[in-house]
Every structure is written in C-alpha cells, then in structure tokens.
C-alpha cells in the first residue's frame, strides 16, 4: 500500500486515489487552513496512534435533513458556548466496544481554535444542569460535517444531534456528513451514498 505523504504544502491527492477502506494520505498538520481544505474536498482526519491519517471512504455515510427520524420521546435543552466541554467529553468518554479515542490533545486544540473562528459548532443535551450528551462538527456552507458525539445518559447524544439538525434546517442545511457507518445514526435515518455523489454535493454546496 502506497500512501500519499503530506508535507507543508496545502494540497491533497484526488479522493479517487484512496485505498478501498478510504485511507487517502498521512501526515501534515491540523491547521485551520488544512482542515477546511480537507472538508471542502470530502476528506476528514482520523488519528491512528501518533499519525494523522486522512480519509475519504466510498460509500459515504450521510443523513439528509428531510429524512431525519425523530421519535416522540426526543426532547432536549440546548445551551450555548460549551463547545470545549463537548469536545473534551467526546475525548474522554468511551463508547461501548471502543478501546480508545482518536481525539488527541492536538485534535482537541485544533477544533477549539476552529470553534473560536466560527467554523466548529456543537449542540448539547442537559439534565438537571449536567452535560449528559453532545455532538460537534464543522459547518461549511449548507453542509454539517459531524466529527464526534458522546452520551452519559441513554439517547442523550441523539437528543443533541436532533436539536442541532432542527436548528440548522432553519439555515437551509442540505446534508449531514456522518463519515462512517454506525447503527446509532442509521436509526436516525442516515444512509450510504457513493463518494462521487458526496463530493459532487460538497462541490455544489460549498
């Protein structure tokens, strides 16, 4: 397997050169400029050990706002300006079957910086003044690129995710990038589309 090694130049190879599992490149950095360039080309970072790996899987797991499935019991309270709490919780709270986290200290700092610049956003679920669930990601144009979510209470991350999508639909949201398959998001209506279709939509909306 021959991987494209990123250096200082802000450039990515064509997503068509990705490996069958979606792995496209290795290295580079997590500067705001590089991250924005990646998202705009249908690429996202994911750590493996100490290395930054860049991915563009085919097919791509996405959710169209019009296909969002909401059960009657879903209710939540959203509070603002708690992005740093959400990403830190995503970092330290392990999901069932998860051995570790891809959110390193470097990732945490990079996305907090993107939040301060207005690119990264979050939504939270609260119960009795305790943060019990949340989701964060990048909002570019009419697309939300989901990065991670956490739950301390049953369905709390679903609550936050649904509220976020409902709010973004008022801003003419067209697509939610879920990156890779999970049963959790499939239950909310997410489905697979081809990478070609995903990149086409990104190019149209950004």
Q: Domain ranges for the chain, please list them.
A: 4-58, 61-205
pLDDT above 90 covers a percentage of the chain that reads 67
pLDDT per residue as tens digits for the range 14-29: 999 999 999 999 999 9
Is 91 strand, coil or helix?
helix
pTM of the model: 0.88
Contact by Cβ (8 Å): 178, 59: no
Q: What is the DSSP letter of 102?
A: S
pLDDT per residue as tens digits for the range 108-151: 999 999 999 999 999 998 888 889 999 999 999 999 999 999 99
Burial class of residue 66 (count of CB atoms within 10 Å of its CB; 0-12, 13-18, 19+):
exposed
By residue count, the chain amounts to: 206
Domain 4-58 belongs to what topology? Alpha-Beta Plaits (3.30.70)
Between residues 129 and 187, the one the model is more confident about: 187
Domain 61-205 belongs to what topology? Aminopeptidase (3.40.630)
Banded model confidence at residue 89, pLDDT cuts 50, 70, 90: very high
- Per-residue H/E/C for 116-141: HCCCEEEEEEEECCEEEEEEEEEEEC
pLDDT at 76: 43
Average pLDDT over residues 161-190: 92
H or E stretch at 34: helix 32-40
**Residue 2 and residue 187: Cα distance in Å, rounded?**
36
């Amino acid at each position: 397997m021959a991987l494209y090694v990123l250096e200082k130049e802000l450039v990515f190879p064509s997503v068509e050169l990705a490996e069958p599992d979606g792995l496209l490149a290795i290295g580079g950095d997590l500067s705001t400029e590089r991250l924005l360039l990646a998202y705009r080309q249908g690429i996202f970072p994911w750590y493996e050990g100490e290395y930054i790996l860049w991915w563009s899987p085919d097919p791509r797991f996405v959710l169209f706002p019009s296909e969002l499935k909401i059960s009657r019991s879903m209710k939540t309270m959203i509070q603002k300006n708690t992005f740093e709490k959400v990403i830190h919780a995503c970092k330290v709270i392990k999901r069932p079957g998860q051995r570790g986290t891809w959110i390193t200290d470097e990732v945490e700092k990079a996305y907090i910086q993107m939040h301060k610049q207005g690119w990264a956003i979050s939504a939270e679920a609260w119960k009795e003044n305790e943060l019990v669930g949340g989701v964060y990601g990048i909002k570019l144009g009419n697309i939300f690129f989901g990065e991670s979510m956490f739950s301390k209470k049953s369905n709390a991350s679903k609550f936050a995710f649904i509220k976020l999508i409902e709010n973004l639909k008022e801003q003419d949201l067209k697509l939610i990038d879920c990156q890779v398959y999970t049963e959790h998001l499939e239950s909310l209506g997410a489905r697979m589309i081809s990478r070609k279709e995903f990149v086409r939509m990104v190019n149209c909306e950004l």
